[in-house]
């Protein structure tokens, strides 16, 4: 078992041991049921001995009653195990989902940038199901099998020690072979699954691009290529099925060898008067129970390893340390004025692409600052660093003199309101999306925020009004409507620091006018950072900072920067001025 599999079992056990009472009841149920089942062959031994001795009906019926009682007791213990398990497994699956949810969401912005949302959701789903499948295989199959072999060996030891020795040696050989063969076959099962995925992907690709296949006369080529792929799949699939047949053949042979050996020893002992007819019934009953338990052992082991493979991706996420963590003894950020200082900061992405080196910027309390410049200059990175989506390598970012790396991340983001270029909304009601900024806000505060953001008008035009669901990521709303909801959310949050990241880009003129008016209410009295490519939106800012290649190359008011000869701002203005009204 590799390291990741051990980590998976460790995480599963950490969640399972929270329920010691349920584990105890499951253990009692399993031991009781398996022991009761093991009494069946013993009572059959008594029955056949009585029949062979031509005993009266009364003692025979008494033994029959014992057989029924043993079956009833086994049934009761299995029902105990079943109903306790109906509480145990769902509880742990719920806890695993909660653990995955909480740990996943504490990963960094960079983590989510490098992982598809759909893929992460699938990993969590597979993790939960892996626990269920692995637990089922271990509790309902492997553990009863192990207990059954121990009980059978113990009973046979008192009957004839040689029988117990044969059963133990045979069981060790059988289990060792089955485990080895299951692991040997697993690599071919994985290859078969990969080819199945590849065939499905190729088929989907050609169906999606059917028009290209027709336009370029590619059907013959695609058909030959697809035939080669399906032939490869056929060969691997046939080999895996052949391996399954070989495994069953060897298992059947091993079962036959055990039964032949036990019965041969039993006949010899019977001839010597050491066994009764009932002992034969006992031996045969135990052989049948063992065969029933061991027949699917290889499939069970393969399933466990397959489910461990499914779980490992999520285990890797759960064991990976969070990239951005609160400092020990981190305190809440307290903002009284809203002054921001970027002091000699240096930053690069993953140690590769350098963005800032010894960068300095001070924003006074209540100052409205616009960041502009060519794409890739570092404007958006400044916002990400301020929100601590990434950590800087050198220097410090201070808010009212407090180093943001020394305060809690939640308190930092509570003091900053962001209106992004493309707001993403929850698939919830409009009311819930606006209230998300401050869940304890009153209805009137939420409605007032919507009115100030010019969102109230379009919201009330919907049949369900504020109870209208917006669709995944807000797809049921237009860009301007989503933007106004985001502004309403920012107004409701009422944070002392405001960040506008291209808040009016890609909007029609009417929507832009409404949002510009909403922004006037939003920025009032707040320290504001506005990132913009459309210079018409930042003409009234207190200061415009031009950033190029991670450095401040110009700063000042709109009128001042226009006077700079051959300045970056002046060039950008000249390019865009044709579409602006002064």
pLDDT in tens, 550-572: 999 989 988 888 877 667 788 77
Task: Using the structure block, give the residue that is written with the tokens 């502004």.
Answer: 487
Tell me what pLDDT residue 4 has.
Answer: 81
Question: Are 216 and 270 found together in one domain?
Answer: yes
CA distance linking residue 381 with residue 223, whole number of Å: 49
HEC profile for 471-529?
Answer: CCECCCCCHHHHHHHHHHHHHHHCCCEEEEECCCCCCCHHHHHHHHHHHHHHHCCCEEE
**Which backbone phi and psi does 370 adopt, to 5 degrees?**
-105, 135
Question: Are 263 and 353 found together in one domain?
Answer: no
CATH of the domain at 134: 1.20.1560.10
What's the number of domains the chain is made of? Answer: 3
**Is residue 369 within 8 Å of residue 541, measured between CB atoms?**
yes
Tell me what pLDDT residue 274 has.
Answer: 82
**Is residue 356 within 8 Å of residue 346, measured between CB atoms?**
yes
Q: When comparing pLDDT for 575 and 368, which is higher?
A: 368
Question: Are 141 and 170 found together in one domain?
Answer: no
Q: Are strands 402-403 and 394-399 parallel, antiparallel or unpaired?
A: antiparallel
Question: Are 208 and 301 found together in one domain?
Answer: no
Sequence-separated (6 or more) residues with CB below 8 Å from residue 178: 247, 251, 294, 297, 298, 301
Whether residue 287 is contained in a domain is answered as no
Question: Are 500 and 366 found together in one domain?
Answer: yes
Tell me what pLDDT residue 499 has.
Answer: 93
Q: What is the mean pLDDT of the chain?
A: 89
CATH of the domain at 490: 3.40.50.300
**317 pLDDT tier (thresholds 50, 70, 90):** very high
Whether residue 236 is contained in a domain is answered as yes
Per-residue pLDDT tens for 394-411?
999 999 999 999 999 999
**Residue 230, pLDDT above cutoff 50:** yes
Tell me what pLDDT residue 581 has.
Answer: 42
**Which backbone phi and psi does 365 adopt, to 5 degrees?**
-55, 130
Q: Are strands 551-556 and 543-548 parallel, antiparallel or unpaired?
A: antiparallel
Tell me what pLDDT residue 1 has.
Answer: 63
Q: What is the DSSP string of 193-231?
A: HHHHHHHHHHHHHHHHTHHHHHHTT-HHHHHHHHHHHHH
**Residue 51, pLDDT above cutoff 80:** yes
Whether residue 119 is contained in a domain is answered as yes
Question: Are 420 and 313 found together in one domain?
Answer: no
**Residue 172, pLDDT above cutoff 50:** yes
Rounded to an integer, the average pLDDT of 482-504 is: 89
**Residue 479, pLDDT above cutoff 50:** yes
Rounded to an integer, the average pLDDT of 233-243 is: 93
Tell me what pLDDT residue 579 has.
Answer: 45
**Is residue 224 within 8 Å of residue 231, measured between CB atoms?**
no
Tokens found for residue 239: 């080999």
Instruction: Give this prediction's pTM.
Output: 0.82
Question: Are 174 and 254 found together in one domain?
Answer: yes
Tell me what pLDDT residue 505 has.
Answer: 61
**582 pLDDT tier (thresholds 50, 70, 90):** very low
**215 pLDDT tier (thresholds 50, 70, 90):** confident
**Is residue 399 within 8 Å of residue 411, measured between CB atoms?**
no
Question: Are 55 and 198 found together in one domain?
Answer: no
Whether residue 212 is contained in a domain is answered as yes
Whether residue 490 is contained in a domain is answered as yes
**Residue 195, pLDDT above cutoff 70:** yes
- Sign of torsion, CA 241 244 250 255? negative
Per-residue pLDDT tens for 55-67?
899 999 999 999 9
**Residue 492, pLDDT above cutoff 70:** yes
Name the least confident of 12-26, 158-172, 529-543: 529-543
Question: Are 23 and 150 found together in one domain?
Answer: yes
Question: Are 395 and 440 found together in one domain?
Answer: yes
Assign residue 398 a region (left: φ > 0; alpha: ψ between -120 and 50; beta: otherwise).
beta
Rounded to an integer, the average pLDDT of 237-258 is: 92
CA distance linking residue 442 with residue 463, whole number of Å: 22
CA distance linking residue 225 with residue 206, whole number of Å: 11
Q: Percent of the chain having pLDDT more than 90?
A: 58
Whether residue 285 is contained in a domain is answered as no
Torsion of CA 445, 448, 453, 457, to 10 degrees: 130
Among residues 266, 425, 289, 326, the alpha carbon closest in space to that of 108 is found at 326
Q: When comparing pLDDT for 478 and 503, which is higher?
A: 478
Per-residue pLDDT tens for 284-304?
999 998 898 898 888 888 888
Whether residue 332 is contained in a domain is answered as no
Whether residue 292 is contained in a domain is answered as no
- List 340's β-bridge partners, or say none: 363, 399
Tell me what pLDDT residue 577 has.
Answer: 63
Question: Are 1 and 19 found together in one domain?
Answer: yes
**511 pLDDT tier (thresholds 50, 70, 90):** low
- Domain of residue 72, residue span: 1-160+297-321
**Is residue 450 within 8 Å of residue 488, measured between CB atoms?**
yes
Length of the chain: 582
Tokens found for residue 530: 């506005």
**Residue 431, pLDDT above cutoff 90:** yes
Question: Are 169 and 104 found together in one domain?
Answer: no
Tell me what pLDDT residue 191 has.
Answer: 87
- Sign of torsion, CA 385 388 392 394? positive
Helix (H) or strand (E) holding 242: helix 219-271
């Amino acid at each position: 078992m590799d390291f990741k599999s051990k980590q998976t079992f460790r995480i599963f056990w950490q969640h399972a041991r929270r329920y010691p009472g349920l584990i105890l009841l499951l253990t009692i149920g399993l031991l009781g049921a398996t022991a009761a089942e093991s009494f069946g062959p013993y009572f059959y031994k008594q029955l056949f001995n009585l029949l062979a001795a031509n005993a009266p009906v009364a003692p025979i019926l008494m033994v029959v009653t014992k057989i029924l009682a043993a079956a009833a007791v086994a049934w009761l213990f299995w029902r105990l195990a079943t109903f306790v398990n109906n509480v145990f497994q769902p509880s742990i699956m719920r806890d695993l989902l909660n653990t995955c949810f909480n740990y996943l969401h504490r990963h960094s912005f960079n983590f989510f940038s490098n992982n598809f949302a759909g893929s992460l959701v699938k990993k969590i789903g597979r993790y939960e199901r892996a626990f269920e499948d692995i637990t089922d295989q271990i509790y309902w199959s492997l553990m009863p099998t192990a207990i059954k072999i121990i009980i059978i060996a113990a009973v046979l030891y008192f009957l004839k020690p040689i029988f117990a020795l044969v059963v133990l040696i045979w069981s060790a050989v059988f289990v060792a072979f089955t485990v080895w063969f299951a692991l040997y076959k697993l690599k071919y099962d994985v290859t078969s699954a990969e080819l199945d995925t590849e065939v499905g992907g190729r088929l989907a690709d050609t169906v999606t691009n059917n028009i290209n296949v027709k336009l370029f006369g590619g059907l013959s080529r695609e058909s030959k290529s697809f035939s080669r792929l399906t032939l490869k799949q056929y060969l691997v699939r046939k080999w895996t099925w052949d391996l399954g047949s070989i495994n069953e053949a060897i298992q059947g042979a091993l079962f036959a060898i055990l039964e032949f050996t036990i019965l041969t020893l039993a006949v010899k002992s019977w001839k010597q008067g050491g066994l009764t007819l009932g002992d034969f019934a006992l031996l045969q009953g135990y052989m049948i129970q063992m065969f029933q338990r061991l027949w699917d052992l290889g499939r069970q082991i393969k399933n466990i390893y397959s489910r461990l493979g499914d779980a490992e991706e999520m285990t890797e996420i759960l064991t990976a340390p969070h990239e951005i963590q609160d400092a020990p003894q981190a305190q809440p950020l307290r903002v009284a004025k809203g002054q921001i200082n970027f002091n000699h900061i240096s930053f690069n992405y993953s140690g590769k692409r350098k963005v800032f080196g010894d960068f300095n910027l001070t924003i006074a309390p209540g100052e409205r600052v616009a960041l502009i410049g060519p794409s890739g200059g570092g404007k958006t990175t400044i916002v990400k660093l301020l929100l601590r989506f990434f950590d800087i390598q050198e220097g410090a970012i201070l808010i009212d003199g407090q180093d943001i790396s020394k305060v809690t991340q939640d308190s930092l983001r509570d003091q900053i309101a962001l209106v992004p270029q493309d707001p993403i909304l929850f698939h919830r009601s409009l009311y819930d999306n606006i209230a998300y900024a401050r869940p304890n806000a009153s209805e009137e505060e939420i409605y007032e925020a919507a009115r100030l953001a010019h969102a109230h008008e379009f919201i009330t035009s919907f049949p369900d009004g504020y109870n209208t669901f917006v669709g995944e990521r807000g797809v049921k709303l237009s860009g301007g409507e989503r933007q106004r909801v985001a502004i309403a959310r920012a107004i409701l949050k009422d944070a002392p620091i405001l960040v506008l990241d291209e808040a009016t880009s890609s909007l029609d003129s009417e929507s832009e006018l409404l949002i510009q008016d909403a922004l006037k209410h939003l920025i009032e009295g707040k320290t504001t950072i506005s990132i913009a490519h459309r210079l018409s939106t930042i003409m009234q800012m207190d200061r415009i900072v031009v950033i190029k290649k991670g450095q401040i190359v110009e700063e000042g008011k709109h009128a001042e920067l226009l006077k700079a000869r051959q300045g970056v701002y002046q060039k950008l203005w000249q390019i865009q001025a044709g579409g602006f009204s002064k």
